[in-house]
Structure 1
């Protein structure tokens, strides 16, 4: 695994529940009622994977940018 994680949000799939921003406010914000990652690459942090895991429509994808392996959701 690389030193950082890539965070992406499918804004077409996002329903704007805000669970991600509530779970990981240092990493996600609601912009125009849709989730937006505050940075594309982040240091590994359990709150980021928790946010992806709690998204009700699985709009958040956290991957290892070096390998493309999915970290979350699991």
Structure 2
């Protein structure tokens, strides 16, 4: 696993709680509709980013390894 992750917030699933942006404002922000999004296409891998994804109440955040495209979160079934 590399030290860079591609982080995606699915706008069709996001219910605009703002939890991601409040928890990690350097990595997540809210768009003009109040939906969360990553501040960059690729973020440094960190426990903080993983914790935000895990705490999303509807799992709208997915994380993949930027180099291998291996799914980091949510875990495969």
Gapped regions of structure 1 (runs ≥ 5): none
Where in structure 1 do 4 or more consecutive aligned residues deviate above 4 Å? none
Range with greater deviation from structure 2 (6-15 or 64-73): 64-73
Q: TM-score if structure 2 supplies the norm length?
A: 0.86
CA–CA distance in structure 2, aligned partners of residues 5 and 25 of structure 1? 17
Q: Considering only aligned residues, what root-mean-square deviation do their CA atoms show, in Å?
A: 1.2
Gapped regions of structure 2 (runs ≥ 5): none
List per-residue Cα deviations over 1:21-71 (Å, max 9, x = no partner).
111111111111101110111111111111100011111011102222222
**Aligned pairs (5 A) from 1:23-62:** 23-31=23-31, 32-62=33-63
Aligned length: 74
